[in-house]
């Protein structure tokens, strides 16, 4: 299943020519997929292992940033990482918002999640028109993106990409703060810069702190395999209530912002991981 040869070629280029633009940073996507992989059913584990390239050695998390790195090759994929919503409405509507700059419907991160979920339902058939390895990697990545609040952000500032701030003493844009800086600062201060220790802490909280929320996170209404409208609606609410709140061009973001937003970042990473696992478990049966 899937075209391992073409995927390997893409990944070879990635390692010699990394791309800086991403959603969640590398660690955020790694955490999301690591959480998910620990929650897969045996059937889903077998399907994921069969779709991953052999050199991944069954580690989905190791390839969870692949979709960011192939933007230079798959130019068509860039709009699939985010959703632009009308400024300050703090709502998401599929027909209004899920389209690219040319107005093509479905070309946003919510539409991409639906598309790659549908493609993966071909798994187990004798033939498929889709590259199911790439479908798995795109879906896993986009489930992370849709849970980063500023990937469902305002149109005018491109999800915080044009809001210049200082993260403590360093210049940054607000979007980068949520992709990378909050997670990196958390790792440095509390986990000895060890992403595995942060992942373990979030997994512990999924069991102990958020245990009564997990079933609701996993559920989709009716026979749906995935519910990106729910994820996107939560995302724009978090963007308005936490990411954008109190921030203007030139803001200096220090401990008050970091410590109050840190729980939201960890909560969204946890939701993304739990939901990715639930989606894959539903897809693969």
Question: Of 1, 16, 15, 123, which is closest to residue 54 (Cα–Cα)?
Answer: 1
Mean pLDDT of 103-131: 97
List % helix, strand, coil for the chain (3-state, nearest 5): 60, 5, 35
In sign, the C-alpha dihedral spanning 89, 90, 91, 95 is positive
153-196 per-position pLDDT tens digit: 999 999 999 999 999 999 999 999 999 999 999 999 999 999 99
Total number of domains in the chain: 1
Q: Which domain, by its residues, includes 182?
A: 4-284
CATH number, domain at 66?
1.10.575.10
d(CA 149, CA 136): 22
pLDDT band at 100; cut points 50, 70, 90:
very high
Mean pLDDT of 252-259: 98
> In this model, does residue 27 exceed pLDDT 80?
yes
* DSSP tag of 251: P
b/e per residue, 166-200, with b = 16+ CB within 10 A?
ebeeeebbbbbbbbbbbbbbbbeeeeeeebeebbe
- pTM across the whole model: 0.92
């Amino acid at each position: 299943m899937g075209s391992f040869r073409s995927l390997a070629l893409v990944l070879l280029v990635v390692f010699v020519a990394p791309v800086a633009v991403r959603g969640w940073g590398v660690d955020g996507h790694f955490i999301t997929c690591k959480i998910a992989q620990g929650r897969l059913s045996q059937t889903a584990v077998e399907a994921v292992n069969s779709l991953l390239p052999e050199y991944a050695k069954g580690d989905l998390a190791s390839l969870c940033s692949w979709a960011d790195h192939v933007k230079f090759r798959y130019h068509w994929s860039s709009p699939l990482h985010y959703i632009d919503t009308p400024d300050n409405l703090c709502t998401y509507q599929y027909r209004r918002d899920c389209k690219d700059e040319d107005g093509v419907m479905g070309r946003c991160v919510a539409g991409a999640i639906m598309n790659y979920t549908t493609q993966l339902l071909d798994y187990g058939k004798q033939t498929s028109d889709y590259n199911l390895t790439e479908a798995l990697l795109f879906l896993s990545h986009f489930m992370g993106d849709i849970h980063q609040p500023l990937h469902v952000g305002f149109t005018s500032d491109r999800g915080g990409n044009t809001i210049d701030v200082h993260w403590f003493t360093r210049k940054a844009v607000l979007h980068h703060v949520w992709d990378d800086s909050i997670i990196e600062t958390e790792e440095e201060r509390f986990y000895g810069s060890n992403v595995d220790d942060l992942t373990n802490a979030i997994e512990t909280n999924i069991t102990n702190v958020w245990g009564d929320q997990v079933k609701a996170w996993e559920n989709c209404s009716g026979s749906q395999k995935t519910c990106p409208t729910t994820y996107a609606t939560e995302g724009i609410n978090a963007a308005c209530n936490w990411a954008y709140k109190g921030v203007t061009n030139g803001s200096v973001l220090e401990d008050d912002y970091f410590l109050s937003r840190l729980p939201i970042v960890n909560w969204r990473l946890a939701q993304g991981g739990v939901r990715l696992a639930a989606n894959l478990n539903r897809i693969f049966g």
